[in-house]
A and B are shown apart, each in its own frame.
Chain A
Amino acid sequence: MREFQPVRRLRTSREAAIAGVRGRQPPVSGRGGIGEPPAGPPTRTLPYTLVITALVLALTAAALAALALGSVRIPTADVIQILTGNADPSPYRTIVLDVRLPRVILGAAVGAGLAVVGTTLQALVRNPLADPFLLGVSSGASAAAVSVIVLGVGAGMATTVTIPAASFAGAFLALLVVYALAREPGGGFTTTRLILAGVAVSYVLSALTSLILVVSARADHLKEVLYWTLGGLGSARWDMLALPLTVLAVGTALLIALARPLDLLLVGEEGATVLGLDTARFRAGVFVLTSLVTGVLVAHSGAIGFVGLMVPHAARMLVGAAHRALLPVAALMGAVFLVVADLAARTVAAPQDIPVGVLTALTGGPFFLWLLRRGRAREGAPA
């Protein structure tokens, strides 16, 4: 019973949004459906093509819903007509194509990217409680981005370049620091050390962000920065999508290609070494890749938490822990999750646009506590 609660929670949060199409989707949460105990140990997995097909359908449905719903309701038939280019110019057309579509695409990209990065970081530290947000990587990216906005670092260059570049650097440095702090002398990562290091680094970086703000407070900066600290997709525009989409595509493709060495990381440092992996070099490469993806995404969406924590976990329950199968599923699930979460963020308190990071934290916080409890129960259980 317990095993499935978070999945149910995750589905409930998007229930309203996909209510209209849910009946047509194959169940995503396990063979038994919602609320039933899993039909076997988590190693028993669903047929892979079924999972991928279901997720692609779910993403399509979520995207259509996100294009149709909002402060202005647009009939789905009209949305499809607009998308296929058969509609006359109209206000609907502008809303769908210029306001909602770029936002849906950015949401899908950020969700997919955070899920892929979360999956990778969890392999890197061999702990299911890793997430770019919890490990301070996102905070590093936001702090660096805010410095660029407020302090005018790199003034003169286009902010479309300087902000993502700074975010990447900030993410990379934060990850290095947390990794160094959390690592046991023998090379292991206990949950306690990992979380403490992540929380400490996040706090220092948030404080730094606040300090920069207070010292050089300008009203327009405050609003922009608040947006970063909460995480939102409201600024999505067509002309800013190229960079995040490129980085996401390249980063994900590379990580899927690296599935074999990522699997090797799961058996520990010594295990990976004796199986022929140059762990130091590979780890350095993965640091750069994950920081790059996180940094560029955070530069466009702010720090959205817990997607990289919840999604990899759910994906592992579906297809197991081997990365060649896991990463594409995690990417698709992350995309679906964030598109739906953002739709909820736009609609639950309409016309207020709640930052989507607030919603993901509302679902992710309890999930995190559940994982922590479950981990403790397992550690306490006899071997």
Chain B
Amino acid sequence: MKVFGTLLESPVGKLTYRFRDLLALEPLTADELGFLLDQSKPFQEIQKHPLKKLATLRGKTVALAFFENSTRTRISFGTAAARLGADTMNLQAEASSIKKGETLLDTAFNLNAMKPDCLVMRHSASGAADYVARHLDIPVVNAGDGTHEHPSQGLLDALTIRDRLGTIENLNVTILGDLLHSRVARSNIHLLGKFGCRFTLCGPSIWVPRELEKIAPGVPIRCVYKMEEALEDAHVVLMLRVQTERLDDPPLSANDYILLYQLNAERLKRAHRDAIVLHPGPINRGIEITPEVADGGQSCVLEQVTNGVAVRMAILYLVIAGASEGGAHPALEANPSRSEESGHKKTKESANAGD
């Protein structure tokens, strides 16, 4: 399976990977993951700039194929493409021909026939991006496949944690909610687990099967079923959205869920004093999390969204331009208006300025 290519050399800021797709974080090494995070850093700066548009991918086209409802991820990838100067084509499930019986592969072939340079896709079937990537000759970026992985979410969460806590190494990470059906949880475990983080998973037992303790060999993962115990000493509390459509499937009511597993200020006190709270959104206020926690100082919810654009710029840049070019990070040119004209320059000093 082609997921990520060989590491050639790794000075920060240089384009050193040859990878075609980004399908999952599980197969990536700590070095490769760290490189992706480092590559995102300069793009974070771009988000603060009054003129946010680079010309790096001018003339390139990103196909966004969302076979499952999505608001923020789709807009985030679309914004990331726009800020890199790329054009986008959009396919949304409602508007697509899948309801007319076309297979996923035929739809992908048709999009590919319009010659995009990359396909970003979300699909409700686990492994769908992997399946499409096996048949396409352009890079495929997984924007969430079923209950498997959500690589860009894992990366933006790690970036957010690193910004807030200064490190992603050796942290106690507590993940709360419907672990079984969470692609966000899997991507986080596969990323942070490679940096020595320890995981405590907590939620109703049908959503937190013991098998989860073994999904990432070598990573300390434990499943507990009492929230108070789960929060003890946590540096990072990662909330998962309760998919209300699933609440009638598992054997507990919304009220019982709130009683047992809602994150409120009182419970959060059990976590580490400087603990941060992440949530991939959209939030169900008053169900899995109280407004005071969601809006409180420990919450990173909106930073996650901002960082999402930066991470996705890095991903698109690397899969589209990274394979063929070497040189400085485009965002280190740091003058978006100028780079509109000249593209990105390759200078030695900027090459090492990424961290």
Query: Do these two chains interact?
Result: no
Q: Which A residues contact B (CB, under 8 angstroms)?
A: none
